[in-house]
């Protein structure tokens, strides 16, 4: 069977969306999961956008072995230099150049005439080609471009050496039928199109990103660009898990293969949720918490008779773990390490020591430690150790007849700083104390508590969204104590904000 390549842009387009930024350690972790998931291309970042982005791309390029590593660049020399600097050590590097081709973008954003845009495409792609064999060219806002001009732009890119042509539905405007028509048109009118790979990149503004992506595939596209959980600018990008599960579940309809190991979808989705703080809605296809829940009596009855009545794909096929009790207070380091490995976490001895210490503390508080607890434990370790501030201690005095006060102590490098604050309840008081320490006043846009597993000793997971001026970030914290989880989530948000600044 022919194959569709999966190009993952969680670390670039996904990360680019407000509140989803990740630090280098977090990006490296996501890249590791993507590699294990089996994607073909990892778009690791946009190196010209910041030195941190460049650093993260370099790190990923140096570690990923089984996927191509790609970096984004506008069609300008300095961007292309930075992109190459990012991916040059990768086993399979790719430079991804892009330029807008729609009248509205050319006139108002680029302030260029169509001929100037064509010249920039020629020069940009040819320059990227001096560094790298594999050069992708994306026409930004392709779906609102004049078709004739778009075909010229793509023909110019092929002539200059592009190996992949990407049709970007940048503002999620097109429809499946239109997309299929556009692909057919390009296949007919782009010179040299048979020598290169054709790709699509769909945004979800009208909720059609997955449908448009699949329409393009049915029309002959063989690379799809998507993100885990569909994260990305505005309404996000085509969700990798939806596109892949559609290809796999409806192989009869598409007759195509892809190299993703679908059993890694659940873990990868959770990692990205844990790191970005973006939790898909419960009814989200494939990875929402209700995606495999069958609560209506009539459905349960049907399921008991035969799972096929209401289940078109199994939870196991996307790697949803059984809620088995795995570890407890008396479990040793070896069992712990083995369980982590079976979940896909391979820690170095130093990380393992730290994780085992945390596990011991957790298993003292919790009778049984389930897989999802272990995932939370590892994720919290990553987020708590990746920023400027960490929580040292807190004391909160609260009641319905007194003003609530919180004393919070944070470490900031070598020094420890403690502040007292009064607030409307324990969470607010603790957050105010953190504000006093950091000197940054955030507006709390949202605050949510979930329990990672069931039971009264479950780990609590707090997710906050903080805003300072026009900049918002999310933060996540885990603990069996919900107040501690809340404070950690706030600190995680503060650390992300500082990083993004
Ligand atoms: O949405 C878009 O147009 C992009 C391009 C850079 C491919 O992300
Ligand atoms: Zn995009």
Q: Are residues 20 and 99 both part of a single domain?
A: yes
Q: What residues have CB less than 8 Å from 484, skipping those under 6 apart?
A: 391, 394, 477
What are the tens digits of pLDDT across the range 450-474? Answer: 887 767 778 888 888 888 987 778 8
Answer whether 16's CB lies under 8 Å from 44's CB: no
For residue 5, give both structure tokens: 């390549």
What are the tens digits of pLDDT across the range 125-177? Answer: 999 999 999 999 999 999 999 999 999 999 999 999 999 999 999 999 999 99
DSSP-derived pairing of the beta strands 368-370 and 389-397? unpaired
Higher pLDDT, 278 or 244: 244
Q: Is residue 345 part of a domain?
A: yes
- Alpha helical stretches, state H, 161-258: 176-189, 209-218, 240-249, 251-254
Work out the average pLDDT over 106-123.
98
Q: What percent of the chain has pLDDT over 70?
A: 95
Total tally of structural domains belonging to the chain: 3
DSSP 3-state of 27: helix
* Backbone phi and psi for residue 327, each to the nearest 5 degrees, phi listed first: -135, 160
* Backbone phi and psi for residue 281, each to the nearest 5 degrees, phi listed first: -60, 155
Q: Is residue 134 part of a domain?
A: yes
Q: Whose CA is nearest to atom 6 of ligand 1?
A: 98
Q: Are residues 365 and 433 both part of a single domain?
A: no
- Tell me if 201 CB under 6 Å of ligand 1: yes
DSSP 3-state of 441: coil
Q: Is residue 298 part of a domain?
A: no
Residue 294 predicted with pLDDT over 80 = no
Query: Measuring CA to CA, which residue among 494, 484, 498, 476 is closest to residue 435?
Result: 494
- Tell me if 383 CB under 6 Å of ligand 1: no
Question: What is each CA distance from 35 to 61, 135, 268, 396, in whole angstroms?
Answer: 12, 21, 10, 44
Q: Are residues 371 and 418 both part of a single domain?
A: no
* Half-sphere exposure in the Cβ direction for 49 (13 Å, CA): 17
| Domain boundary pick from 383, 417, 444 | 383
Residue 432 is predicted with a pLDDT of 96
Q: Are residues 402 and 379 both part of a single domain?
A: no
Q: Is residue 456 part of a domain?
A: yes
For residue 233, give both structure tokens: 């600018």
- Tell me if 170 CB under 6 Å of ligand 1: yes
Report the phi/psi class of residue 247: left, alpha or beta, with left for phi > 0 and alpha for psi in -120 to 50: alpha
Domain that holds residue 184: 2-276
Q: Are residues 342 and 476 both part of a single domain?
A: no
Q: What ligand is nearest to the CA atom of residue 237?
A: 2
What are the tens digits of pLDDT across the range 300-348? Answer: 667 667 778 878 999 999 998 665 556 888 888 888 888 887 776 778 8
Determine the residue of 17, 41, 72, 137 to mutate for testing ligand 1's pocket, defined as the one with the most ligand atoms within 8 A of the Cβ atom. 72
Q: Are residues 203 and 271 both part of a single domain?
A: yes
Q: What is the CATH number of the domain that holds 470?
A: 3.30.160.270
Q: What is the CATH number of the domain that holds 35?
A: 3.20.20.70
Q: Are residues 24 and 142 both part of a single domain?
A: yes
Q: Is residue 218 part of a domain?
A: yes
Instruction: State the DSSP string of 340-376.
Output: HHHTT----HHHHHHHHHHHHHHHHH-SEEEHHHHHH
Q: Is residue 322 part of a domain?
A: no
Distance 299 CA to ligand 2 centre (A): 38
Residue 454 is predicted with a pLDDT of 67
Q: Are residues 392 and 434 both part of a single domain?
A: yes
Mean pLDDT of the chain: 91
Q: Are residues 75 and 48 both part of a single domain?
A: yes
CA pair distance 26, 216, nearest whole angstrom: 32
Residue 400 predicted with pLDDT over 70 = yes
| Domain boundary pick from 323, 353, 383 | 383
CA pair distance 157, 162, nearest whole angstrom: 5
Q: Are residues 164 and 250 both part of a single domain?
A: yes
């Amino acid at each position: 069977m022919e194959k569709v390549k999966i190009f993952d842009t969680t670390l670039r387009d996904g990360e680019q969306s407000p509140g989803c930024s990740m630090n280098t350690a977090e990006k490296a972790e996501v890249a590791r999961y993507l590699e294990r998931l089996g994607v073909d291309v990892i778009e690791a970042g946009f190196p010209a956008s910041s030195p941190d982005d460049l650093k993260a791309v370099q790190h990923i390029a140096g570690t990923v072995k089984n996927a191509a590593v790609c970096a984004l660049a506008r069609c300008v020399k300095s961007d292309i230099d930075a992109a190459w600097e990012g991916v040059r050590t990768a086993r399979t590097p790719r430079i991804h150049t892009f330029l807008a081709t729609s009248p509205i973008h050319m006139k108002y954003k680029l302030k260029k005439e169509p001929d100037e845009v064509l010249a920039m495409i020629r020069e940009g792609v040819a320059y990227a080609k001096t560094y790298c064999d594999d050069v992708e060219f994306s026409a930004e806002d392709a779906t609102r471009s004049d078709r004739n001009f778009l075909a010229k732009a793509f023909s110019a890119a092929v002539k200059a050496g592009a190996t992949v042509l990407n049709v970007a539905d940048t503002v999620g405007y097109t429809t499946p039928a239109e997309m299929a028509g556009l692909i057919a048109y390009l296949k007919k009118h782009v010179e040299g199109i048979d020598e290169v790979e054709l790709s699509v990149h769909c945004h979800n503004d009208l909720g059609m990103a997955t449908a448009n992506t699949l329409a393009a595939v049915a029309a002959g596209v063989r690379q799809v660009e998507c993100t885990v959980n569909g994260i990305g600018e505005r309404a996000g990008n085509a969700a990798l898990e939806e596109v892949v599960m559609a290809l796999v579940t409806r192989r009869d309809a598409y007759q195509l293969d892809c190299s993703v190991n679908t059993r890694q979808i659940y873990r990868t989705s959770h990692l990205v949720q844990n790191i970005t703080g973006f939790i898909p809605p419960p009814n989200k296809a494939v990875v929402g918490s209700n995606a495999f829940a069958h609560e209506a009596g009539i459905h349960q009855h049907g399921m008991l008779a035969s799972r096929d009545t209401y289940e078109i794909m199994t939870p196991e096929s996307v790697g949803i773990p059984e809620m088995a009790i795995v570890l407890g207070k008396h479990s040793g380091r070896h069992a712990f390490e083995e369980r982590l490995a079976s979940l896909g976490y391979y820690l170095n001895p130093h990380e393992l020591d730290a994780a085992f210490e945390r596990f011991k503390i957790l298993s003292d508080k919790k009778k049984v430690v389930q897989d999802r607890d272990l995932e939370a434990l590892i994720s919290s370790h990553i987020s708590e150790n990746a920023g400027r501030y960490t929580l040292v201690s807190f004391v909160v005095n609260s009641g319905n007849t007194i003003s609530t006060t919180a004393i919070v102590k944070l470490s900031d490098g070598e020094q420890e700083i403690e502040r007292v604050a009064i607030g409307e309840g324990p969470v607010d008081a603790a957050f105010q104390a953190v504000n006093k320490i950091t000197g940054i006043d955030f507006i709390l846009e949202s605050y949510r508590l979930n329990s990672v597993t069931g039971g009264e000793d479950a780990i609590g997971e707090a997710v906050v969204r903080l805003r300072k001026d026009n900049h918002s970030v999310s933060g996540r914290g885990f603990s069996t104590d919900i107040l501690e989880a809340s404070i950690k989530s706030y600190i995680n948000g503060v650390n992300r904000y500082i990083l993004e600044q």
